[in-house]
Protein backbone atom coordinates (compact mmCIF):
# COMPACT_ATOMS: atom_id res chain seq x y z
CA UNK A 1 0.00 0.00 0.00
CA UNK A 2 1.31 3.47 -0.92
CA UNK A 3 2.05 5.70 2.07
CA UNK A 4 0.21 9.01 2.17
CA UNK A 5 1.54 11.99 4.10
CA UNK A 6 -1.35 14.26 5.07
CA UNK A 7 -0.79 17.99 5.58
CA UNK A 8 -3.57 19.77 7.48
CA UNK A 9 -4.04 23.30 6.12
CA UNK A 10 -4.87 25.54 9.07
CA UNK A 11 -3.43 25.11 12.57
CA UNK A 12 -6.32 26.68 14.48
CA UNK A 13 -8.92 24.96 16.63
CA UNK A 14 -10.58 23.15 13.75
CA UNK A 15 -7.19 22.06 12.46
CA UNK A 16 -6.33 20.50 15.81
CA UNK A 17 -9.67 18.69 15.75
CA UNK A 18 -9.03 17.40 12.24
CA UNK A 19 -5.69 16.06 13.45
CA UNK A 20 -7.63 13.81 15.85
CA UNK A 21 -10.15 12.81 13.19
CA UNK A 22 -7.44 11.92 10.69
CA UNK A 23 -5.51 9.97 13.31
CA UNK A 24 -8.65 7.95 14.05
CA UNK A 25 -9.34 7.46 10.34
CA UNK A 26 -5.78 6.27 9.70
CA UNK A 27 -5.81 3.78 12.59
CA UNK A 28 -6.63 1.00 10.16
CA UNK A 29 -4.29 2.35 7.47
CA UNK A 30 -0.79 2.06 8.96
CA UNK A 31 0.81 3.29 5.72
CA UNK A 32 -0.88 6.68 6.11
CA UNK A 33 0.23 9.39 8.54
CA UNK A 34 -0.34 13.02 9.41
CA UNK A 35 2.88 14.82 8.48
CA UNK A 36 1.96 18.16 10.09
CA UNK A 37 0.24 21.48 9.50
CA UNK A 38 0.50 24.24 6.91
CA UNK A 39 -0.08 27.68 8.41
CA UNK A 40 1.22 31.20 7.84
CA UNK A 41 1.92 31.49 11.59
CA UNK A 42 4.86 29.25 12.49
CA UNK A 43 3.96 29.57 16.19
CA UNK A 44 0.27 28.71 15.79
CA UNK A 45 0.66 25.55 17.86
CA UNK A 46 2.75 27.00 20.68
CA UNK A 47 1.37 25.75 23.99
CA UNK A 48 -0.26 22.66 22.49
CA UNK A 49 1.27 19.25 23.07
CA UNK A 50 0.80 17.65 19.65
CA UNK A 51 2.70 14.92 17.88
CA UNK A 52 3.26 17.10 14.79
CA UNK A 53 3.94 20.79 14.20
CA UNK A 54 3.75 23.54 11.60
CA UNK A 55 5.72 22.62 8.48
CA UNK A 56 5.45 26.04 6.87
CA UNK A 57 2.98 28.08 4.84
CA UNK A 58 0.66 26.30 2.41
CA UNK A 59 2.56 28.18 -0.29
CA UNK A 60 5.92 26.62 0.55
CA UNK A 61 5.32 23.23 2.23
CA UNK A 62 7.25 20.64 0.18
CA UNK A 63 5.03 18.45 -2.01
CA UNK A 64 5.95 14.92 -3.09
CA UNK A 65 4.06 12.16 -4.86
CA UNK A 66 2.73 10.94 -1.49
CA UNK A 67 1.66 14.34 -0.12
CA UNK A 68 -2.04 15.04 0.32
CA UNK A 69 -3.77 18.08 1.83
CA UNK A 70 -6.98 18.65 3.76
CA UNK A 71 -8.27 22.15 4.53
CA UNK A 72 -9.25 22.62 8.18
CA UNK A 73 -10.76 26.11 8.22
CA UNK A 74 -14.39 26.96 9.03
CA UNK A 75 -14.79 29.96 6.71
CA UNK A 76 -16.19 28.85 3.35
CA UNK A 77 -14.47 31.51 1.23
CA UNK A 78 -11.13 30.90 2.94
CA UNK A 79 -11.54 27.14 2.37
CA UNK A 80 -11.88 27.80 -1.34
CA UNK A 81 -8.89 30.16 -1.43
CA UNK A 82 -6.63 27.69 0.39
CA UNK A 83 -7.74 24.78 -1.77
CA UNK A 84 -6.98 26.90 -4.84
CA UNK A 85 -3.42 27.47 -3.55
CA UNK A 86 -2.95 23.72 -3.05
CA UNK A 87 -4.18 22.92 -6.55
CA UNK A 88 -2.15 25.72 -8.16
CA UNK A 89 0.99 24.14 -6.68
CA UNK A 90 0.04 20.74 -8.08
CA UNK A 91 -1.08 19.40 -4.71
CA UNK A 92 -3.97 17.00 -4.19
CA UNK A 93 -6.77 17.12 -1.63
CA UNK A 94 -7.68 14.09 0.47
CA UNK A 95 -11.11 13.38 1.99
CA UNK A 96 -10.99 12.59 5.71
CA UNK A 97 -13.92 10.61 7.15
CA UNK A 98 -14.07 9.94 10.88
CA UNK A 99 -14.92 6.27 11.59
CA UNK A 100 -18.14 7.25 13.37
CA UNK A 101 -19.51 9.18 10.37
CA UNK A 102 -22.09 7.48 8.14
CA UNK A 103 -22.04 7.66 4.35
CA UNK A 104 -24.98 5.92 2.69
CA UNK A 105 -24.53 3.71 -0.37
CA UNK A 106 -24.82 5.78 -3.52
CA UNK A 107 -23.60 9.03 -1.93
CA UNK A 108 -20.70 10.79 -3.63
CA UNK A 109 -18.02 12.94 -2.02
CA UNK A 110 -15.59 15.25 -3.80
CA UNK A 111 -11.90 15.47 -2.98
CA UNK A 112 -10.89 17.18 0.25
CA UNK A 113 -14.12 16.77 2.21
CA UNK A 114 -14.02 16.47 6.01
CA UNK A 115 -16.67 14.36 7.75
CA UNK A 116 -16.45 14.84 11.49
CA UNK A 117 -17.70 12.46 14.21
CA UNK A 118 -21.32 11.33 13.73
CA UNK A 119 -21.78 13.27 10.50
CA UNK A 120 -24.44 11.78 8.19
CA UNK A 121 -24.64 11.74 4.39
CA UNK A 122 -27.80 10.20 2.93
CA UNK A 123 -28.26 8.02 -0.10
CA UNK A 124 -27.65 9.63 -3.51
CA UNK A 125 -26.44 12.86 -1.89
CA UNK A 126 -23.66 14.63 -3.76
CA UNK A 127 -21.00 16.70 -2.00
CA UNK A 128 -18.67 18.90 -4.01
CA UNK A 129 -14.96 19.19 -3.28
CA UNK A 130 -13.63 20.61 -0.01
CA UNK A 131 -16.90 20.46 1.98
CA UNK A 132 -16.71 20.33 5.79
CA UNK A 133 -19.53 18.48 7.59
CA UNK A 134 -19.07 19.04 11.30
CA UNK A 135 -20.06 16.84 14.24
CA UNK A 136 -23.66 15.56 14.15
CA UNK A 137 -24.43 17.55 10.97
CA UNK A 138 -26.43 15.84 8.25
CA UNK A 139 -26.96 15.87 4.49
CA UNK A 140 -30.27 14.34 3.43
CA UNK A 141 -30.94 11.94 0.59
CA UNK A 142 -30.58 13.34 -2.93
CA UNK A 143 -29.24 16.67 -1.66
CA UNK A 144 -26.68 18.47 -3.82
CA UNK A 145 -23.97 20.37 -1.94
CA UNK A 146 -21.65 22.75 -3.81
CA UNK A 147 -17.92 23.01 -3.32
CA UNK A 148 -16.33 24.57 -0.20
CA UNK A 149 -19.51 24.56 1.89
CA UNK A 150 -19.32 24.46 5.70
CA UNK A 151 -21.81 22.66 7.96
CA UNK A 152 -21.56 23.70 11.62
CA UNK A 153 -22.38 21.14 14.34
CA UNK A 154 -25.97 19.82 14.25
CA UNK A 155 -26.87 21.67 11.05
CA UNK A 156 -29.13 19.74 8.68
CA UNK A 157 -29.90 19.88 4.98
CA UNK A 158 -32.94 17.75 4.23
CA UNK A 159 -33.82 15.61 1.22
CA UNK A 160 -33.28 16.98 -2.30
CA UNK A 161 -32.22 20.43 -1.05
CA UNK A 162 -29.44 22.18 -2.96
CA UNK A 163 -26.60 24.39 -1.75
CA UNK A 164 -24.47 26.50 -4.08
CA UNK A 165 -20.73 26.85 -3.60
CA UNK A 166 -19.31 28.39 -0.40
CA UNK A 167 -22.50 28.24 1.67
CA UNK A 168 -22.11 28.44 5.45
CA UNK A 169 -24.63 26.83 7.83
CA UNK A 170 -24.53 27.86 11.49
CA UNK A 171 -25.04 25.50 14.42
CA UNK A 172 -28.52 23.89 14.39
CA UNK A 173 -29.41 25.59 11.09
CA UNK A 174 -32.02 23.58 9.17
CA UNK A 175 -32.87 23.62 5.46
CA UNK A 176 -36.25 22.21 4.44
CA UNK A 177 -36.49 19.60 1.68
CA UNK A 178 -36.14 20.85 -1.91
CA UNK A 179 -35.11 24.35 -0.87
CA UNK A 180 -32.15 26.04 -2.56
CA UNK A 181 -29.43 28.14 -0.93
CA UNK A 182 -27.55 30.38 -3.34
CA UNK A 183 -23.80 30.72 -3.77
CA UNK A 184 -21.98 32.35 -0.86
CA UNK A 185 -25.07 32.59 1.36
CA UNK A 186 -24.97 32.16 5.14
CA UNK A 187 -27.67 30.61 7.34
CA UNK A 188 -27.36 31.74 10.94
CA UNK A 189 -27.35 29.45 13.96
CA UNK A 190 -30.80 28.06 14.70
CA UNK A 191 -32.38 29.43 11.51
CA UNK A 192 -34.98 27.29 9.72
CA UNK A 193 -35.08 27.77 5.94
CA UNK A 194 -38.62 27.33 4.57
CA UNK A 195 -37.97 29.30 1.35
CA UNK A 196 -35.09 29.57 -1.10
CA UNK A 197 -32.21 31.83 -0.01
CA UNK A 198 -30.63 34.11 -2.66
CA UNK A 199 -26.90 34.14 -3.41
CA UNK A 200 -24.74 36.15 -0.98
CA UNK A 201 -27.65 36.52 1.46
CA UNK A 202 -27.88 36.05 5.23
CA UNK A 203 -30.85 33.99 6.45
CA UNK A 204 -31.94 34.50 10.06
CA UNK A 205 -34.82 33.24 12.21
CA UNK A 206 -37.68 30.71 12.05
CA UNK A 207 -39.05 30.92 9.47
CA UNK A 208 -35.81 32.33 8.11
CA UNK A 209 -35.85 35.75 6.45
CA UNK A 210 -33.09 36.54 3.97
CA UNK A 211 -31.20 39.74 3.35
CA UNK A 212 -28.62 40.02 0.58
CA UNK A 213 -25.31 40.97 2.17
CA UNK A 214 -23.38 41.91 -0.96
CA UNK A 215 -25.61 42.87 -3.87
CA UNK A 216 -22.69 43.00 -6.29
CA UNK A 217 -21.60 39.45 -5.40
CA UNK A 218 -25.15 38.17 -5.69
CA UNK A 219 -25.55 39.67 -9.16
CA UNK A 220 -22.30 38.11 -10.37
CA UNK A 221 -23.46 34.64 -9.27
CA UNK A 222 -26.94 34.69 -10.79
Same domain, 123 and 89: no
Rounded to whole angstroms, the Cα distance separating 93 from 113 reads 8
**Is pLDDT above 50 for 218?**
no
CA distances to 19, 52, 83, 96, 169 from 3, rounded to whole Å, are 17, 17, 22, 15, 35
Domain of residue 154, CATH code: 2.160.10.10
Tell me the pLDDT tens digit for each residue of 37-63.
999 999 999 999 999 999 999 999 999
What's the pLDDT tens digit per position in 91-138?
999 999 999 999 999 999 999 999 999 999 999 999 999 999 999 999
DSSP state of 26: G
- Note whether 210 and 103 are same-domain residues: yes
Give the Cα separation of 124 and 104 in Å (integer): 8
Same-domain pairing of 82 and 110: no
Shared domain check, 137 and 69: no
C-beta separation of 20 from 49 below 8 A: no
Residue 29: the pLDDT is 79
Question: Is residue 202 domain-shared with residue 157, that is, in the same domain?
Answer: yes
pLDDT tens by residue, 133-181 = 999 999 999 999 999 999 999 999 999 999 999 999 999 999 999 999 9
Are 104 and 87 contained in the same domain? Answer: no
Confidence of residue 214 (pLDDT cuts 50, 70, 90): low
| pLDDT above 80 (res 2) | no
C-beta separation of 10 from 72 below 8 A: yes
Of 39, 63, 94, the residue that ends a domain is 94
Distance of alpha carbon 78 from alpha carbon 186, whole angstroms: 14
Structure confidence at residue 97 (pLDDT): 97
Decide if 183 contacts 200 (C-beta within 8 A).
Answer: yes
Domain boundary among 94, 115, 140: 94
Can you give the pLDDT at residue 1? Answer: 56
Domains held by the chain: number: 2
Instruction: List all residues 6 or more positions away from 24 whose beta carbon is below 8 Å from its beta carbon.
Output: 98, 99
pLDDT computed for residue 30 by the predictor = 76
Q: Which residues pair with 32 in a beta bridge?
A: 4
Q: How far is CA 142 from CA 23, 161, 182, in A?
A: 30, 8, 17
Query: What's the predicted TM-score (pTM) here?
Result: 0.94
Phi-psi region of 133 (alpha: psi -120 to 50; beta: other; left: phi over 0): beta
Beta bridge partners of 181: 163, 197
221 pLDDT above the threshold of 60: no
CATH code of residue 47: 3.40.50.20
Range of the domain at 215: 97-220
Amino acid sequence: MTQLDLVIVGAGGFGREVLGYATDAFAGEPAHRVAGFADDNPRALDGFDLAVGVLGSVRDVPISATTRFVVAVGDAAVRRALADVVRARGGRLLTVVHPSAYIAPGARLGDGCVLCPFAFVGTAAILGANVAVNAHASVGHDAIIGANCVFSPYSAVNGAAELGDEVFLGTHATVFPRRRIGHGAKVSAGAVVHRDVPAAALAVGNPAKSRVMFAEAAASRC
